[in-house]
Structure 1
């Protein structure tokens, strides 16, 4: 009987060890599975619940401007809060707008928002959402130009204030509407903004502005030639040699209206 009790106790101890070991293994396995799921969630770009009207490309992350049948394509990656983007736009926007209006290029705009990661605030994301709202209303190009003409310093999060963005919309004829205001205030395209940024993260590009002409980098140089408005027009004409120009308005979007005269080069009435 004593020997049987000892055998039973030994068997009981073995069962407890097996149960405890199995529990530990299950916890570890669950943690591994959870880690894989979390990592997959980090690496897989989210699909936005809604995208602005007229967007194109995979998951509708690109805002097209100009004639869809233009012979050349200008691809631009920009952050609304990026000072280098502001400098680029103030120097080149008139030339790019003219090339679009002439049917020489269409522009694929990628509105990214990574500066909010490094500089406190949310001006990149809020500005990108406002641009998406302007695209929805058929006024992307003019509002885009207005934002960059009134861009604050990088450390000034003026674009994080939705009232500032709504106020700037008054400079674009037809954009100052309750529908646009509601779109900005409710951050309607926040998911889309995040998806555009995730796409940029995967692109291999690491700075803004990144500018390509027919897939080839041209900013700050095209080969040995420095980019200037005159050089940009020359490069486009060379690329279009012998090709038929596009038809402005062929992208199915409302033709870009004429922007109202800028009120002031300040992001808000209180700016210095």
Structure 2
């Protein structure tokens, strides 16, 4: 684990926006979550890299358009920057052989895949050098019959997760990419044992709807940033600079505005 840095991360506190009272239907309005202070995270023995297991793997699952495939490639690049770990894209898996017990049809014939089935398969087939594996599906997802849908789901200690591109797309491809990188980094941070953030507006906030998810900034608050730095030991200065470059390259202006404020607060 990593504790020393020549960057004063506490400066990020000045940019944290505390969460207000949840609105009816918001995640924290229906989910009783106590939060996860930094000290609790340390004591939880979080999933961490080692000499053999140090890569992130992405598993595309389903049928993707050329635009979606480009979004997946950009997301792999982003996750490499976000976590400071090499991200590997696996060959796409077909979803044609998923059993009827692991899917359902909703109104209009919309197909949903059961997250637990996908997570079980991932868990049984983790590459030897993988620290975490995340599937990205083209189909909608549901975790159980009690839920309408989920954007994604992860197992905090089992090193696997899944997210869906289905509800994230937009007529504006920049918006679709912004949503996918937020969802991907959120789920993979869960795989590194980070729970939902209940302290400030943060990419680790839970969300019950697309508007709530869009309202969540593409930014780690001070406490969540500190957790991942302590765990992964990435170069903070290089990470923020590379995030800025990524946002400029892909014309994600709102994300760039947030990251550039972090850069100034940290003194570079």
Q: Taking structure 2 as the reference length, what is the TM-score of the superposition?
A: 0.29
Q: Which entry has the higher C-alpha Rg, 1 or 2?
A: 1
Q: Taking structure 1 as the reference length, what is the TM-score of the superposition?
A: 0.29
Report the structure, 1 or 2, having the larger helix content.
Answer: 1
